């Protein structure tokens, strides 16, 4: 039955497509028409010893767009897990999960997976998602759903949170366990690691809060600069710690020079989840709370920051400007964790959510339960497309540091 609401939704979708089609696209390879939303496909997976399946999706930890072949690269985190009953414990529903990237192409209002890139170490051994026990460890203990203590064994555990594509087909991933920045070949083999322990990242980052490491990551279009931001303020014991400022670093891959900034976090936000590069001196920053929207209310916002010149070793405090309120721009948004963001051309911002593989911490005998969004549906990964031209900063053009 066709209702007034459905007619309005159809008209809204047609209007959106017309607006996007009429916009100017900065890259000739980038299509000018996108849907309002695109659902990421997933499959249900049974859990041995569990009463309910989880969804093998999880493609929402971060996102990047490739204008070369018009694909969206979606990053998983460490796999399906929930909080355990003991302090600093996690229950992993699939301990052998290998963090990976799903490469998808948009077809109508759905995505088709083109390929999967499993993340592997320098020897070719697949990483796992279990807590890392070496430098930069979080202190967490991993348990199976049956209550057994899990160990990484010969593998290394990583918790991927940020993704940046490079012009040569390689890519960088931020690992929240370290924090580490890991450079991968196009086929997913780790080639280089930057950390606070080897001089590749500011040494103060070693004091990051557990599970609050480097969440935001992006690169400029030429692949010469990396931008990384911690998810939450650092503990009071850390250098330049503040209750409302997040460390941001800019790394020149050619010279290893690092510039440091302090980003002001909104009090309503739980942290920063993603970065996108507009030009060499302008970034988009995605802040969010950690709850589902209620009656369209909540905190999922995208800010713009300009990066002034900075003296190495002396962090500069930044100012920010509200660019997009996601909940206003996307009526009916039902997800709690808006975690990935990409800028397509110069007119479309795309945001993806982390669905936590459709599971949440249990409140009874079972350690987990289905993660339901406000619509009563099992939460799922979804790309939302926001038509938004950024005249002021695009007209300014890139500026080299």
What is the rounded distance in angstroms from the CA atom of residue 331 to the CA atom of residue 177?
Answer: 35
Residue extents of the structural domains in the chain? 37-396
User: What pLDDT does residue 365 have?
Assistant: 82
pTM: 0.89
Identify whether the C-beta of residue 40 lies closer than 8 Å to the C-beta of residue 352: yes
DSSP letter, residue 327: H
Query: Going by C-beta distance under 8 Å and a sequence separation of 6 or more, which residues neighbour residue 64?
Result: 72, 73, 163, 164, 165, 171, 218, 342
Identify whether the C-beta of residue 300 lies closer than 8 Å to the C-beta of residue 337: no
* Burial (0-12, 13-18, 19+ Cβ within 10 Å), 247: buried
Kindly state the tokens that stand for 372.
């339901």
Per-residue pLDDT of the chain (401 residues; tens, 9 = 90+): 333 333 333 333 433 333 333 333 345 567 768 999 999 998 888 877 777 778 888 999 999 999 999 999 999 999 999 999 999 999 999 999 999 999 999 998 889 999 999 999 999 999 999 998 888 888 899 999 999 999 988 889 999 999 999 999 999 999 999 899 999 999 999 999 999 999 999 998 988 888 788 999 999 999 999 999 999 888 765 666 677 899 999 999 999 999 999 999 999 999 999 999 999 999 999 999 999 999 989 999 999 999 998 776 688 999 999 999 999 999 999 999 999 999 998 889 999 999 999 999 998 788 999 999 998 999 999 999 999 877 644 444 333 33
The CATH code belonging to domain 37-396 is: 2.115.10
Identify whether the C-beta of residue 375 lies closer than 8 Å to the C-beta of residue 256: no
What is the rounded distance in angstroms from the CA atom of residue 336 to the CA atom of residue 316?
Answer: 31
User: What pLDDT does residue 188 have?
Assistant: 98
Q: Which of 49, 13, 31 is nearest to 148 (CA)?
A: 49
Query: Going by C-beta distance under 8 Å and a sequence separation of 6 or more, which residues neighbour residue 149?
Result: 141, 142, 143
User: What pLDDT does residue 197 have?
Assistant: 93
User: What pLDDT does residue 242 have?
Assistant: 77
Helix (H, G, I), strand (E, B) or coil at 215: strand
């Amino acid at each position: 039955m066709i209702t007034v609401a459905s007619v309005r939704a159809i008209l809204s979708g047609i209007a959106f497509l017309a607006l996007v089609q009429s916009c100017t696209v900065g890259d000739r390879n980038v299509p000018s028409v996108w849907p309002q939303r695109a659902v990421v496909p997933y499959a249900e997976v049974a859990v041995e010893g569990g009463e309910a399946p989880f969804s093998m999706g999880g493609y929402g930890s971060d996102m990047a767009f490739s204008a070369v072949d018009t694909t969206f690269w979606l990053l998983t985190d460490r796999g399906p897990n929930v909080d355990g009953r003991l302090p600093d414990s996690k229950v992993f529903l699939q301990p052998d999960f290998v963090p990976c990237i799903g490469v998808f192409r948009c077809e109508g209002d759905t995505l088709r997976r083109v390929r999967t890139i499993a993340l592997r170490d320098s020897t070719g051994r697949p990483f796992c998602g279990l807590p890392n026990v070496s430098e930069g460890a979080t202190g967490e203990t991993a348990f199976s759903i049956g209550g057994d203590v899990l160990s990484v064994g010969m593998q290394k555990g990583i918790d991927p949170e940020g993704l940046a594509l490079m012009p040569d087909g390689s890519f960088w991933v931020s690992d929240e366990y370290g924090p580490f920045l890991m450079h991968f070949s196009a086929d997913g083999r780790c080639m280089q690691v930057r950390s606070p322990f080897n001089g590749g990242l500011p040494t103060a980052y070693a004091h990051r809060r557990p599970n609050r490491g480097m969440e935001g990551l992006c690169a400029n279009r030429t692949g010469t600069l990396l931008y990384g931001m911690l998810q939450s303020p650092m503990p009071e014991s850390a250098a330049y710690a503040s209750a409302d400022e997040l460390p941001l670093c800019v790394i020149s891959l050619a010279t290893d020079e690092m510039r440091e900034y302090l980003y002001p976090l909104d009090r309503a936000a739980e942290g920063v989840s993603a970065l996108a590069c507009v030009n060499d001196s302008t970034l988009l920053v995605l802040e969010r709370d950690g709850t589902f929207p209620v009656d369209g209310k909540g905190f999922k916002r995208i800010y713009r920051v300009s990066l002034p010149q900075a003296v190495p070793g002396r962090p500069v405090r930044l100012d920010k400007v509200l660019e997009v309120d996601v909940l206003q721009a996307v009526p009916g948004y039902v997800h709690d964790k808006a975690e990935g963001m990409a800028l397509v051309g110069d007119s479309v911002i795309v945001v993806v959510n982390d669905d936590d593989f459709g599971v949440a911490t249990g409140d009874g005998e079972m350690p987990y339960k289905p993660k339901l969004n406000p619509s009563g549906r099992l939460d799922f990964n979804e790309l939302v497309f926001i038509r938004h031209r950024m005249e002021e900063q695009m007209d300014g053009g890139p500026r080299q540091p």
